[in-house]
């Protein structure tokens, strides 16, 4: 039986909450701030089922989460995400490029995935990464700045993972969302 990274969180919800999508969403919103952190997600590294989702390199076709430290955070970047949630769009010798969904406000994340409408969501994201609308989310990551193994988030988990507050920006996420919207509207 496959074990999913967010199953434990969902199982903690009362049975009546799990039966209603709206109630479950409200319950998760209220409780996930305390329980879903990069440290808690990576703490599962010792379990055999969790170990199967850890990789040394990011994988295309799934979302990837990892710890990252930018090379020149204070001189060239106004901010960055220390725990990206990315969909890989390109790989090379020095690193990889990916669409970091944390740079999108939650409503825009939902619209992106809803646009897939049952199609191959990975293909939809790969195509979307070339659109102006999503350019603010495209980031280059250097292999030597990655600070953990990669946690694969499989498609069955995307609806939940997209809205978990795992982003770790070096600034207020409201500023990041505002900058993203401003870049999109230009």
- Two tokens, residue 152: 């694969």
Q: What does pTM read for this prediction?
A: 0.74
Residue 68 main-chain phi, psi, to 5 deg: -140, 145
Q: Is 99 exposed, middle or buried (0-12, 13-18, 19+ CB in 10 A)?
A: buried
pLDDT at position 1 is: 33
**How would you write 138-159 as a 3-class SS string?**
EEEEEHHHECCCEEEECHHHHH
pLDDT in tens, 23-77: 555 555 555 555 556 666 665 544 455 556 788 899 887 889 999 999 876 667 8
Using the predicted structure, report yes or no on whether residue 21 has a pLDDT greater than 60: no
- How far apart are the C-alpha atoms of 73 and 71, rounded to whole Å? 6
Whole-number Cα distances in Å, 7 to 10, 28, 30, 157? 5, 12, 17, 9
pLDDT in tens, 142-185: 999 999 989 888 877 787 788 888 899 999 999 999 999 999 88
Contact status, residue 121 vs residue 113, Cβ threshold 8 Å = yes
- Per DSSP, what are the bridge partners of residue 55? 150
């Amino acid at each position: 039986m496959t074990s999913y990274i967010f199953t434990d969180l969902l199982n903690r919800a009362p049975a009546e909450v799990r039966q209603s999508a709206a109630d479950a969403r409200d319950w998760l919103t209220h409780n996930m701030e305390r329980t879903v952190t990069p440290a808690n997600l990576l703490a599962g590294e010792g379990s055999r089922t969790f170990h199967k989702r850890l990789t040394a390199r990011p994988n295309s076709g799934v979302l990837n989460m990892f710890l990252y430290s930018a090379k020149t955070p204070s001189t060239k970047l106004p901010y960055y995400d220390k725990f990206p949630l990315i969909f890989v769009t390109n790989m090379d010798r020095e690193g990889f490029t990916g669409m970091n969904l944390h740079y999108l406000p939650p409503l825009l994340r939902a619209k992106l995935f809803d646009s897939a409408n049952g199609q191959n969501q990975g293909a939809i994201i790969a195509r979307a990464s070339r659109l102006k609308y999503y350019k603010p989310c495209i980031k280059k990551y250097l292999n030597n700045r990655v600070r953990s193994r990669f946690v694969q988030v499989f498609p069955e988990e995307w609806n939940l993972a997209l809205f978990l507050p795992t982003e770790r920006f070096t600034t207020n996420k409201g500023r990041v969302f505002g900058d993203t919207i401003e870049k999109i509207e230009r």
